[in-house]
Structure 1
Amino acid sequence: MAEVKNVVLTVTNSANAGKKNVKVDYTLLFDPSEAGKQYQVAISLMGEDTPSDEEPPKPFVLPQPLYTFGFGLIPPQKYTVVTAQAGEQSFSETREVDTSVLNEDPGVNIIQTPSGNLKIPHPDEVYAAVNVSRVARSNTVNLFI
């Protein structure tokens, strides 16, 4: 069964104001019996509130989807298709993402200084989720509705 390993998220500044470069590196591991078959890979950025978070506690809140990588042009798909090869295959995807999208904790701490108030944003806890799946397709049905 296909396996996702070694998922690494890197977020760096972009040359464009209000944007970040978001890079996700990952490895897919396929069995020899899966070689030649096609799989869909989807990458999402998720926001997570940790116990040390400065936001008020929210009971029963699961990680929230912040951004899904698009693949292709018009319209972008929410997944890419890879053809399995036996063993490990490494991949890397980079997207430029609006900073506002990554701001999953919008609050600020205000520190009073002699020159005025200083606003320090709450840290945002973001991780990448990589999903791989094999899709089984049904027959096509013609509908005359």
Structure 2
Amino acid sequence: MEHCEHPSTVLTVLTCSNGTQQYKRHCRRCHQAVGGAVKKAEALRENPYPPPFDVEARERHWRELQERWQVQHRIQSEDAELEQRQWRERYEQHLGSPEWRRAVALVHKRAGGLCEGCLQRPATQTHHLTYLHMGQELMWELVAICDECHRRISEKSHA
């Protein structure tokens, strides 16, 4: 989610589930323990009254991070959906254009009216090998195919 360099730490006392106490350094930013336990004598020399470790602050920090990630994820998903809808609108518009009809005619002429997939059935569709140049296709990026071959291609791409 988020990487913290732990720029500032504080010595705290953590009461474990069995009632024992551990002295640990905790990051002031993300509230995670930094390093191993500090010896009691060393900890008390540094601070005779260390504050208790704030478990709630750590949990609150992680909840906030998770909420932020969820918002970012939702925004990215919405952006991707919008981009997909806009692309689909441009594509549908292109398929109704005189340029597309011209490209279809040229590709089917090149194929001699035969499906370039099976070379047996009449070509009924024009298939993009790539959408990289959609709207300004190079003719070799388009193939004339029959319904059966188009179905086979579609099944593979959705598998």
Would the TM-score normalized by the shorter structure come out above 0.5? no
Query: If each structure's helix is expressed as a fraction of its own residues, which one has the higher value?
Result: 2
Specify the TM-score bucket, using the shorter chain as the normaliser: under 0.3
Query: If each structure's strand is expressed as a fraction of its own residues, which one has the higher value?
Result: 1
